[in-house]
Amino acid sequence: MKITLIGTGCGTPATLTEEGKHALERADVILGAARVLKGLPDACTQTGDSTREKTVEAKPRQICDLLACYIEDRNIENAAIALSGDSGFYSGARILKERILERFGDVCPVEIIPGISSVQMLAARLGIPWQDWNLVSAHGVGCDPVYEIMKGKETFFLTGGKYTADVICRELAEAGLGDLRVTVGENLTYLHEDKNVSTDTGHVDSIPASDPDTRAEHIDSFSASDPDTRTKHIDSFSASDPNTRAERIDSFSVSDSNTKTEYIVTGTASECAERAFSDLTVLLVDTKTQYGKRLIQPRRPAGMPDDVFVRGKVPMTRMEVRCVILGKMAVSQNDVVWDIGAGTGSVSVELAMQARQVWALERRDEAVELIRENREKFGRWNLRIVQGEAPMDLKELPDPDAVFVGGSGGHLGEILSKVWRRNGRARICISATLLETLQESLAAFADRKIEPDIVQIAVTRSEKVGGRHMMRAGNPIYIITGSYEP
């Protein structure tokens, strides 16, 4: 028996490729989710054998057991598995192929036929290329929207489950990215039953908008004898701004009660966070606001000059010391990092250019405001700020992969104990200007049986005096680094 995995496109016969259609017509049985099977052309699902159904609803975990039964049936030579979208874009095809080969080996040859994906469909609707987008699946899996946006590319989210489009937009807004321009494509080309088909083209739904550039596109298409016949008109609708416009495209036939309702809404992340969207939704997030201001800044190498940071009277970790700290911490792009006693946020900002998330804990009002200003200046929206004091407020932070302690307020031992309770293998880096802090660090590491790496840095900088240059030494600083290795 031959098995074919087929990407069926976006839920309508029009988005099924000819190759996929022919494979479905040849199939003796078609397995798939109810939603996918419902969108297949009638010609693909008809069978000459009136004693059995050609389409069989099946969950992924049931498919191999069903295939095992069909192998024994001499009337079934070709089995097809219908998958939504494209077989190579966040599809179940990869896992299904692995399971089929593992269970049946070479007994059942497997072929894969691609389809049209939702990312292709949205790009086509918008009339723009998609090859440079950052492609992310948030459909039923964990997702960190802020981290994905920080990669500096327009980001496409396949949404669903916990992470619907409004939830993603809400997380972006909470991180300070509420002004980002987003485009939501809801129910792209999927069919819905509507027994009361209306040919009225005079009504347009309204959405609240605070910006005249906010637009909504409402597309209703009905199955027609000529699918290319489309009627297009543009109406204005009532909104908080009279210049906000909506575009509605209608094509219909009274001979068919299947309707397809498609919405493409463009606005800000904050605006879309207040709307509700279905699971069959895709989201495109720009790196700019609707007015063209770039909010996501490109990454920069470690060791930015001191004078580029917003500074007040709060002490700041100098560039040379910062470079050593960043090198010793050696964080990766998937790490969650704590910066305890973050000061002006200079270390936090540079860590945020390397890590997934950085959580800056700082108790002083002036310092917290400086961290906010530096976060905005450098566009490091994956830097989250918590005003509080360690160790009491560490409970507000997620489990860390790495921790920098720039200020402990005399509670270093307690802080390290709390860190190790959250993650016993977290990489720790401590900067110390006092010998007592160095001693506390060594004692805590010794109790944990961690062999520390200790570096003393004494930076001497040039200073202009009377038209000439002299060198002025700064205070020596100890950098103590270590992690538990069983």
The CATH number assigned to the domain holding 71 equals 3.40.1010.10
Lowest mean pLDDT among 85-94, 134-143, 196-205, 278-287: 196-205
**Residue 261: Cβ within 10 Å count:** 16
Residue 110: inside a domain: yes
Type of residue found at 229: T
- Whether this prediction's pTM lies above 0.85 is answered by no
Alpha helices in 216-343 (DSSP H): 269-273, 319-329
pLDDT tens-digit profile of 193-215? 332 222 222 222 333 333 334 33
Q: Closest Cα to residue 217, out of 205, 199, 202, 231?
A: 205
Three-state secondary structure call for residue 6: strand
- Cβ atoms of residues 258 and 222 within 8 Å: yes
pLDDT tens-digit profile of 348-394? 999 999 999 999 999 999 999 999 999 999 999 999 999 999 999 99
Same domain, 69 and 152: no
Same domain, 363 and 473: yes
Residue 179: inside a domain: yes
How confident is the model over 241-247, as a mean pLDDT?
A: 34
The CATH number assigned to the domain holding 187 equals 3.30.950.10
Same domain, 217 and 171: yes
Residue 92: inside a domain: yes
Q: Please check the confidence at residue 400 and state whether its pLDDT lies above 90.
A: yes
Same domain, 190 and 213: yes
Same domain, 110 and 124: no
How far is the C-alpha of 454 from the C-alpha of 437, rounded, in Å? 13
Q: Closest Cα to residue 42, out of 33, 30, 51?
A: 30
Better-predicted residue by pLDDT, 210 or 182: 182
Q: Please check the confidence at residue 243 and state whether its pLDDT lies above 50.
A: no
How far is the C-alpha of 169 from the C-alpha of 165, rounded, in Å? 6
Residue 301: inside a domain: no
How confident is the model over 441-465, as a mean pLDDT?
A: 92
- Residue 80 pairs in a beta bridge with 4, 30
Cβ-in-10-Å burial (0-12, 13-18, 19+) of 416 comes to buried
Q: What DSSP line would sit under 74-112, residue for residue?
A: TT--EEEEEESB-TTSS-THHHHHHHHHHHHGGGS-EEE
pLDDT tens-digit profile of 299-322? 777 889 999 999 988 989 999 999
The CATH number assigned to the domain holding 466 equals 3.40.50.150
**Residue where one domain finishes, among candidates 289, 322, 354:** 289
Same domain, 236 and 366: no
- Which residue's structure tokens are 């069903």? 66
Highest mean pLDDT among 102-111, 323-332, 462-471: 323-332
Return the pLDDT at 242. 32
Torsion angle, CA of 268/274/279/280, rounded to 10 degrees? -40
Residue 298: inside a domain: no
**Residue where one domain finishes, among candidates 96, 116, 136:** 116
**Residue where one domain finishes, among candidates 289, 319, 342:** 289
Three-state secondary structure call for residue 174: helix
- Cβ atoms of residues 362 and 342 within 8 Å: yes
Same domain, 165 and 235: yes
Same domain, 284 and 325: no
Residue 205: inside a domain: yes
Range of the domain at 156: 119-289
Same domain, 27 and 109: yes
- Cβ atoms of residues 339 and 383 within 8 Å: no
Type of residue found at 252: F
Same domain, 184 and 254: yes
Q: What DSSP line would sit under 110-128, residue for residue?
A: EEEE----HHHHHHHHHT-
Return the pLDDT at 195. 27
How far apart, in Å, are the Cα atoms of 344 and each of 133, 158, 457? 34, 37, 20
Rg of the chain (C-alpha set): 29
Domains held by the chain: number: 3
Residue 253: inside a domain: yes
Residue 226: inside a domain: yes
pLDDT band at residue 223, thresholds of 50, 70 and 90?
very low
Return contacts of 439-444, CB within 8 angstroms, 24+ apart: 440/412, 440/413, 441/412, 441/478, 441/480, 442/480, 443/413, 444/412, 444/413, 444/416, 444/417
Three-state secondary structure call for residue 477: strand
Same domain, 132 and 111: no
Same domain, 130 and 86: no
Highest mean pLDDT among 209-218, 227-236, 252-261, 325-334: 325-334
